[in-house]
Structure 1
Amino acid sequence: MPAEADALLSFPLTPFTADDEVDLDAFAEHVDEQVLAGPAALFVACGTGEFSALSLDEYRTVVATAVRVAGDRLPVYAGAGGGPRVAREFAAAAHDAGADGLLLLPPYLVASTPAGLVSHVRYVAEAAALPTVVYQRANAVLDPDAAVALLGVPTVVAVKDGRGDVDAMLRLVTAVRSSRDPRAAEFGFLNGLPTAELSALAYRAIGVGSYSSAVLCFAPDIATAFHRAVREGDDVTVRVLIAEFYLPFATLRDRVPGYQVALVKAGARLAGLRMGPVRPPLVDATPAHVEALEEIIASGRAALKRDEA
């Protein structure tokens, strides 16, 4: 994982052509623009990158392309998930494609205990000797004992939270940091909520300063300005951007299930990138919602310009 305790992380989209193929040229352009925006790491073929919609062959080419384009500029993590055997196949493919690490998504459909989740993580991690970030959300929920148990899986380096329960996350962080395990101090925690900027201050207060930013995919100027304001304690800029951009964006995002991806793709298209449609079961943003998104982006940039004046 990136060494910074308050890193900004990029989760690139996966563009598709009109005839439903992965557009590797557009993806390469997108990845290069993301690298130039200055995040600490790329996480490709994850939730925002429509991991669940990719075939194994498509996944291999997406990860290999990201690795090639990123070069030695920053690490590339790849999503892996599904049932245990499927997740192992994707983890091995990520390794072969040159990824620097994995984001292990929740197991497909099946719910279990926190201890069962640790067993799943260990089972998948054995397939590829890559640093692994465990994504906690939906049916994949850790408790403090399970979080500490992850320290016993040598390749697991961090937990990404997508649940939004700050109290529960504090308990995980405290359990790991106070465990006296040799890896406790270096173990990472990431805020992975949709539009994580809205909860950035709350998570930072419990020692979780790094977060993923979907906004970085289509408005890197806003995303990086907000991250800089959080790091520098610029409360005025934080408040202005939350009020003028992030809250309106999140409100629009919540209008339709799946807009966590579809609306971000719409934003990337507004920014001039070839993104194509989302794959089912996701639905593309309606023209009215795209128009609203364009107005929200303009409002955010205007607010940023006033703040900088």
Structure 2
Amino acid sequence: MKFKWEGVMPAMTTKFTADDSLDLPAFKHNLRAQLNAGVHGVILGGSLGEASTLSQDELQLLLRETVAEVGDSIPVISTIATGSTRNALLFARQARDCGASGLMVLPPMRYKATEREILQFFESIAKETDLPVMIYNNPVDYQIGVSISMFETLLKYDNIQAVKESTRDISNITRIKNEFGDRLKILCGVDTLALESLLMGADGWVAGLVCAFPAETVAIYELVRAGRTTEALELYRWFLPLLELDINPQLVQNIKLAEVATGLGTEHVRLPRLPLSGEERIRVERIIKKAMANKPELPDYKKYLQS
């Protein structure tokens, strides 16, 4: 499936039952809400999807079920997050076999690789697959960054097409645009910098709180794209306390609690994660409750949806 690296792409949470099995009905309920809101793609198996606790069989099942549900309406992106190049190549082949439209690839995990090793890792995957690739650049959380000079090397591969920009340096968007133009698409990977990133020229938003608030998230993107910046800013100001739940070590628990509040999920997480408790739970519930009580009426953003 050919597609553009543009728009809102939810980093989907993985739904579990009380007995720790995949909860496919709950997952599909959320997925249909994303589709109805007008998201432009979905990403499976990322950090928010608790990928480190999923087996490859579970991830492949989620991929197949998602592809079957969405058909050709939007792209389905599979995440590769592993410390082994051999496993990365295997996962790329499996993702393609399951019908994935593209890959989001993290640098080698659990090993602080050298620049030469990082380049070889990404290049090996690009050579292995014909799927389009988005590189996840998050030096804050993963202590490994992909520099402009590294991208210059990587962009000799036509299927390396996008970056999930999570450096927290808003000027890096301009830096990338100045250097590569539209050759490297930029998707913001930090919820609290989404509006700023879009205004600076980012092509899309890999979002987290979209899992609980799909319409509000897509509305911000579409309003910016339509030049209705003032309305987007008003909505974003309301949204920001919720978006800050994404830049937190307990982002999975936070967002799943928000999904419960909006009727789009359950609170079940997979060990070693535990549901929020104590003062932190009270704090997060207060943020969600306040946002829900002051939820704005959305403009008719769907008339701007990309075909």
TM-score by length of 2: 0.85
CA distance in 1, matches of 2:298, 2:172: 38
Q: CA deviation at 1:267?
A: 1.2
The question of 1:140 aligning with 2:141 is answered: no
Matched pairs, number: 292
* Partner in structure 1 of residue 226 of structure 2: 232
Aligned residues with identical type, % of pairs: 26
CA shift for structure 1 position 273: 3.2
Distance 2:276 2:174 in 1: 35
Residue 69 of structure 1: how far off its partner (Å): 0.6
| Corresponding residue to 1:273 among 243, 249, 264 | 264
Equivalent residue, structure 2, for 1:67: 67
Aligned position for 1:191: 188
Alpha carbons 1:170, 1:206 under 8 Å: kept: yes
Q: CA offsets, 1:170-225, max 9 Å, x none?
A: 32332223xxxxxxx343111111x2xx3234323443131122222111232122
Q: Report if aligned partners of 1:12, 1:34 keep a CA contact under 8 Å in 2.
A: no
1:233 partner SS: coil
Q: Residue 19 and residue 306 in structure 1: after superposition, are their counterparts in 2 closer, same or farther (change >3 A)?
A: closer
Query: 1:42 maps to which residue?
Result: 42
Whether the 8 Å CA contact 2:133–2:160 is kept in 1: the answer is yes
Alignment of 1:108-257 (within 5 A): 108-137=109-138, 138-177=142-181, 185-193=182-190, 195=191, 198-246=192-240, 248-252=241-245, 257=249
Moved more, 287-296 or 132-141: 287-296
Match of 2:305 in 1: none
Rate the CA distance shift 1:94–1:170 in 2: closer, same or farther, 3 A.
same
Structure 1 match to 2:304: none
Instruction: Between 62-71 and 159-168, report the one with greater CA deviation.
Output: 159-168
Q: Report if aligned partners of 1:79, 1:103 keep a CA contact under 8 Å in 2.
A: yes
Structure 1 residues 12 and 121, CA gap change in structure 2 (3 angstroms): same
* Contact 2:195–2:220 (8 Å) recurs in 1: no
CA distance in 2, matches of 1:290, 1:203: 26
- The residue aligned with 2:25 is 25
- Shift in Å, 1:4: 6.7
SS at 1:22's partner residue?
coil
Report the alpha carbon displacement of residue 284 of structure 1 after superposing the two structures with TM.
Answer: 2.3
Task: Provide structure 1 residue ranges, at least 5 long, that are not aligned to the other structure.
Answer: 178-184
- Contact residue 241 and residue 300 of structure 1 kept, 8 A: no
CA distance in 1, matches of 2:5, 2:147: 25
Q: Distance in 1 between matches of 2:180 and 2:246?
A: 33
SS at match of 1:305: coil
TM-score (norm 1): 0.85
Runs (4+) of structure 1 moved beyond 6 Å? Answer: none
Preserved contact between residue 37 and residue 214 of structure 2 (Cα < 8 Å): yes
- Distance in 1 between residues matched to 2:94 and 2:271, nearest whole Å: 24
Instruction: Choose 35-44 or 267-276, whichever is displaced more.
Output: 267-276
Give, in angstroms, the shift of residue 306 of structure 1: 9.0
Matched, 1:295 2:280: no
1:224 match: secondary structure? helix
Tell me, in whole angstroms, the C-alpha distance in 2 between the residues paired with 1:306 and 1:149.
43
Q: Corresponding residue for 1:87?
A: 88
Aligned partner letter, 2:46: C
Q: Which amino acid aligns with 1:165?
A: D
Q: Quote the RMSD (CA, aligned, Å).
A: 2.4
